[in-house]
Amino acid sequence: MANLDLDTSKLVNDYKQIEATIISENSIFDKTIKYLESSFNDKSLAPKDKITIQSNLMSSMAVNLTAKALEIALNLQQTKSQVELSKAEIEFNKARTALVTAQTATEAQKKNAIIREIASYDDQQRIKEAEIITNAVFGYASGGVAVPGELSSKMIDLIDKITPNS
């Protein structure tokens, strides 16, 4: 089953990688700082104003970039969890499909077993009927009484029904 707990160590590692990318050389953060430095060198601003503007901008950028990096790291964790859940769901659906396939095969076998059971029951009925008629015919014959023709032909027909045709 997928682990849905927030893994803080992975979150911190993801955050650190994202943060390193955000402040790396040639990043927006780096380009902004370089732009500020070059702009302040060209302009005639008071040092206090330069420091105030630079510190306010860097502070704002740091807060925003940190928040964005954390948001991205959390989204990454969420996406990883969703992928794990999707994989678990796929495995579950594969197992359910296998179960349904097995149940379908079992139902087909049950149907065949029922058909065989009905055929066996019908065979037993025909055998029992033939036994009863045969006993009646032998009863007539052993008692010295003429066996009715209809009874003899019925006995022969019943015996033919239970014996395989050669």
- Predicted TM-score (pTM) of the model is 0.48
Domain count, the chain: 1
> Does a structural domain hold residue 36?
yes
DSSP helix/strand/coil, 24:
coil
What pLDDT does 123 receive? 87
For 53-63, the pLDDT digits (tens) are 888 888 888 88
pLDDT digits (tens, 9 = 90+) for 98-154: 999 999 999 989 998 999 999 899 889 988 988 888 888 888 888 778 888 888 888
Asked whether residue 142 is assigned to any structural domain, the reply reads yes
Is residue 3 situated within a structural domain?
no
Residues spanned by the domain of 78: 8-162
Cα–Cα dist 42/3, whole Å: 56
- pLDDT for residue 134: 86
Confidence of residue 165 (pLDDT cuts 50, 70, 90): low
Instruction: Give the pLDDT of residue 3.
Output: 56
Task: Give me the long-range contacts of 114-123 (CB less than 8 A, separation at least 24).
Answer: 123/162
Residue 78 lies in a domain: yes
Q: What is the mean pLDDT of the chain?
A: 84
Would you say residue 68 lies in a domain?
yes
More confident residue, 47 or 48: 48
Tokens of 72: 């991205």
Q: Where is pLDDT greater, at 87 or 53?
A: 87
Start-to-end CA distance of the chain, whole Å, equals 63
2 within domain boundaries: no
DSSP characters over 121-152: HHHHHHHHHHHHHHHHHHHHHHTTPPPPHHHH
Q: Read off the tokens for 66.
A: 């940190």
Backbone angles phi, psi at 31, to 5 degrees: -65, -35
pLDDT of residue 58: 82
Q: What is the pLDDT of residue 14?
A: 82
What pLDDT is recorded for position 77? Answer: 86
Q: Is residue 1 part of a domain?
A: no
